[in-house]
Structure 1
């Protein structure tokens, strides 16, 4: 079966134009993919056709990232979740499974907590558990991606080096993709990280009743340790480990990523 094409478009929402990419038949069950900070829909570029053979797979650019409009408010997990629901409304989708990576996983949790009737299953990939201990630890660490623009372009090298240790050594293409997306968000590279750090997940996670898959990239030091902690707060969760997976998991190992998602959804039938 040939892979379905990816089609890109914009939706006019309350915040302005929001960009998304879609793959698969619109009448099929829907999956909404939510990316990490400061990436875009493009981290799911190779995943969408694999999932789109059986689902209506949609990857949106979070407001302020990729080609979506900049937010008229400070970055916020709760507000990003509301915009995601607006996109579902614009596309005529009543209910969708959510697939979130890093920041996207935190947005997916808020979607499931605040709009349970709109969310089927959850796939949380490399998603942190954000509680008071997380917030204290994050406040004591230096910024993750912040750089200062430089006339000689040194900030481009710094963006690369900030992430280099968390990416496969033989995949410069993945770091190139990160830098390209990061340049679009350069006005506030840390906005997504601040939103995650301030999100009070411990007050929201108890509302989740949907089945949950926790994807644990074993080479991701930021998030691998959180999977068991998250699972302890979710009554219907299972953990799947992806060997060799690192921070850029969806575009690093798209076949393993898509396969885990599809296996999980098959098991729910």
Structure 2
């Protein structure tokens, strides 16, 4: 049986090789994944986006998946720096840009860094970090990630599996949960890099500078749904869409509905 997998590519980026995959024809949509994942996060929405007339391009951010890491502890700005390399490798002048969670921060930064290359922006899960949020991260999740290490009988992998299963409330098949674990561990960057970059980034003032048509996209079951609501209140000129239910794995839980919202916004923004 032949599968219609996205086509895999590499580009020479500012920190080494950048891995990305793409499928479909039409206006280009670049996508940045959450941490710690890869462009494989979008496995179940590549085909739906292509069916809606878009060329869907998922990028492994530096240090994740098969992309080379930055030489030092990465920032959100570092993640965004790979955009011109990917566009250049595909001969694309302009694209829309979408990011989920940590990827949403990188997408925000990418829209500011490369305004002539980015036609529209979708922020799927903004993270408006307060001083208290940042300190809570440093005291808790950051400490756990710093101490995360390989254990006998792959206990560390079982731990990640259980965490993701709990986050998904049992809605994701075991095979896909296993894939999440592989995606989280395959990167060449340190395990803690992604969330550290996210919580050190101040997204609110950056969003205030975005000039492109922008959609705040979320779902009511997302653990940071309240951040999306606040972003919509702060920036009422942005579009806002929220799917019902789901969690951090919304692209797997509701791929068709998610793709519908993405395509609806892009068409309304004239990116079609």
TM-score (norm 1): 0.90
Distance 1:126 1:200, change over 3 A: closer
Q: How far apart are the structure 1 equivalents of 2:153 and 2:56?
A: 40
Aligned length, in residue pairs? 264
Which residue number in structure 2 is paired with residue 36 of structure 1?
A: 34
1:50 equivalent to 2:83? Answer no
Q: For residue 186 of structure 1, report the CA deviation from its aligned partner.
A: 7.8
Which residue number in structure 1 is paired with residue 70 of structure 2?
A: 71
Which residue number in structure 1 is paired with residue 208 of structure 2?
A: 206
TM-score (norm 2): 0.89
Which residue number in structure 2 is paired with residue 60 of structure 1?
A: 59
Which residue number in structure 2 is paired with residue 84 of structure 1?
A: 83
**Superposed CA offset, 1:159-218 (max 9, x none):** 122333211314223321210101213862221000001112233222112222222221
1:256 equivalent to 2:254? Answer no
Q: How far apart are the structure 1 equivalents of 2:231 and 2:251?
A: 20
1:24 equivalent to 2:54? Answer no
Q: For residue 145 of structure 1, report the CA deviation from its aligned partner.
A: 6.7
Q: How far apart are the structure 1 equivalents of 2:33 and 2:144?
A: 16
Q: Any unmatched runs of 5+ in structure 2?
A: none
Q: For residue 60 of structure 1, report the CA deviation from its aligned partner.
A: 0.8
Q: How far apart are the structure 1 equivalents of 2:91 and 2:9?
A: 15
Which residue number in structure 2 is paired with residue 11 of structure 1?
A: 11
Distance 1:143 1:162, change over 3 A: farther
Q: For residue 255 of structure 1, report the CA deviation from its aligned partner.
A: 0.8
1:240 partner SS: strand
1:89 partner SS: helix
Q: How far apart are the structure 2 equivalents of 1:50 and 1:145?
A: 36
Root-mean-square deviation (CA), in Å? 2.1
Answer whether contact 1:145 1:189 (CA < 8 A) is retained: no
Matches within 5 A, 1:185-204: 185=187, 188-204=190-206
Which residue number in structure 1 is paired with residue 151 of structure 2?
A: 150
**Superposed CA offset, 1:30-79 (max 9, x none):** 10011000111111112112112312211111111111122222121101
Q: Any unmatched runs of 5+ in structure 1?
A: none
